[in-house]
Structure 1
Amino acid sequence: MMTLSSYPIGTPGTPWGVMEKATWLSRQNRKRSYEADVVNVIDRLRGRFDVSQYGQLDYAGEEYPLYAIRSRDWRDDLPVMLVTGGVHGYETSGAHGALQFVDQHAADYAGRANLLVAPCVSPWGYERIHRWNPQAIDPNRSFHADSPAQESAALMALVAPLKDRVLMHIDLHETTDSDESEFRPALAARDGKSSEPGEIPDGFYLVDDSENPQPEFQQAIIEAVARVTHIAPADANGEIIGSKVVAPGVIEYPLKKLHLCAGITNARYTSTTEVYPDSPRATPQQCNDAQVAAVRAAIDFALA
């Protein structure tokens, strides 16, 4: 049943203005450290990989350098594999899984592929454990020309020279219980829309590109992840988060039309992972391991 959002900020049915966004922002507090959790880990990788700063966010005097990690033996004749994490800052295993992949497995692809990893696209959101940036903008709906999200614009600028050379892009996400308790109600309130109670799937799933579906590629990732954590079943309607399940653990979105991160290149193979960290059957380490398994399977399939 559709209901007007009872979110504590704003007037039901009326989109937020400057005042409502300022009220929302005043309630967002730092809960963890990007520097401690992400930047320090990147610094430890500098001896083995090329690390570059591709942008800097400045929010009310808080500065966040944005880092990318590349294969040291970059060769123009090799395919490019793009891994992005932390587009939604609250989705912890996206950032941590990307870094764990680089640390443990990136060297395995030396001489076979060029790896480009942007492990934490939204550091402000990472620190606040939030989906949006300080302007109450979702970076993962903002990958388009003249993007209002600095996070999205910076990543697009990084990737632009390689847009046609990327063979595979995997974007690492999570679906959490807070999607239903906080983020969807906040979205409805922000936009002055009604909200409909949804169901959070218990387990891992993938989002393929409905404009360029690659079912065998998605299946290879699902098979690899199933050895680490459980795959989300379809709900009673045969759906996951309101989208038809097209194969076990796989739904589809039009990536470019929705301005999603996984649509920023012309890669043949694209996927968005969705780990479920709130499951009683999954630990934080399992969630990171699932992201790593997904990245490895995606690269291996693309290379094969």
Structure 2
Amino acid sequence: MTTHAPYPIGTPGRPWGAAEKADWLSRQSRKRSFEADVLSVIERLRPRFDVQEYGRLDYGPDTYPLLAIRSRDWQDGLPGALVTGGVHGYETSGVHGALQFVERQMADYAGRINLVVAPCVSPWAYEMIQRWNLHAVDPNRSFRDDSPAQESAALMRLVAPLRDRLLVHIDLHETTDTDESEFRPALAARDGVAYVPDEVPDGFYLVGDSGNPQPEFQRAVIAAVAQVTHIAPADRDGAIIGSPVVAPGVINYPVKQLGLCMGITDARYVTTTEVYPDSPRATPEQCNAAQVAAVCAAIDFALAHGCVE
């Protein structure tokens, strides 16, 4: 029987208080630059697209602008598409895949669909290579009224005027080995519950909305990504990360109930991507390309099969 050492912060079975959260925060350090990696790329894109600051994180002494890139040829009669990345800052290809889509493919959709891309929803977590924000809150469980996460609340304000015009929303994520070595053990410790290990799937998969599953849409995205990188198989129980596989590479969650980012709109077509960057069969370039392929396939399917009701 495998045993796991207790997480180094807190007392097993007891949820964290202010002291434990302060201890956790004291262990975080900047490992990369939001300004160099993200803001500099967005600056290069300003001549081609509109850039909107939809909020600002005040994480003294640092502040982080929250930026969205929008179609310059915005037409009110067109449907809309939302692309989000970096809700979990440590999930690198979500951020860089979103930026790569803007740089290389977004202009191809001019006059067909209005696009809003928020490439780095959680810039502090991007720099720290963290899942949570500065307050040990998971932004991707915080997309609800009275959100405890500034990152989530700001994105919800950005999206609110567009809700009834959005046809598709694709939220770009990764599942990494550190989910099991760090982030899920930290979550269990924070909440004072036992950590139950799970298996990290080797490959790309999608999370759909169990309340609006859209299986043909999910299959189209999987088919496009399969041309770029491998799709995660089901485990011995027919599941991926504990959820039943409903189609190759697809699981479903009750997204609005869980406060997930892909539940913030009323779009017909929604999905969360999950790239596996730690696979020996995938390079960082493939991971970014998989995100771009997923975005393009999602938009293409939505344009071919749906309209805003």
How high is the TM-score relative to the length of structure 1?
0.99
Structure 1: how far apart are the matches of 2:198 and 2:213? Answer: 26
Any residues of structure 2 matched to 1:1-304 within 5 Å, and which? Answer: 6-304=6-304
**Cα deviation code 1:41-89 (max 9, x no counterpart):** 0000000000010000011221000100000000000000000000000
Structure 1: how far apart are the matches of 2:25 and 2:76? Answer: 44
Using the aligned pairs only, state the percent identity: 76
CA contact (8 A) 1:3 1:194 kept: no
CA contact (8 A) 1:3 1:196 kept: no
CA contact (8 A) 1:4 1:194 kept: no
Deviation of 1:117 (Å): 0.2
**Cα deviation code 1:13-53 (max 9, x no counterpart):** 00000000000000000000000000000000000000010
Letter in 1 for 2:31: K
Structure 1: how far apart are the matches of 2:5 and 2:108? Answer: 49
Structure 2: how far apart are the matches of 1:213 and 1:187? Answer: 28
Tell me, which stretches of 5 or more residues in structure 1 are unaligned? none
SS of match in other structure, 1:302: helix
Letter in 2 for 1:33: S
Deviation of 1:277 (Å): 0.1
Structure 2: how far apart are the matches of 1:2 and 1:75? Answer: 58
Letter in 2 for 1:35: E
Structure 2: how far apart are the matches of 1:64 and 1:237? Answer: 43
Moved over 4 A (4+): 1-5
- Say which is worse superposed, 231-240 or 4-13, in terms of deviation: 4-13
Structure 1: how far apart are the matches of 2:121 and 2:173? Answer: 12
**Cα deviation code 1:198-253 (max 9, x no counterpart):** 10000000000000110000000000000000000000000000000000000000
Structure 2: how far apart are the matches of 1:65 and 1:167? Answer: 27
CA contact (8 A) 1:2 1:194 kept: no
Structure 1: how far apart are the matches of 2:284 and 2:230? Answer: 14
How high is the TM-score relative to the length of structure 2?
0.97
Deviation of 1:4 (Å): 8.5
CA contact (8 A) 1:3 1:195 kept: no
Structure 2: how far apart are the matches of 1:231 and 1:218? Answer: 13
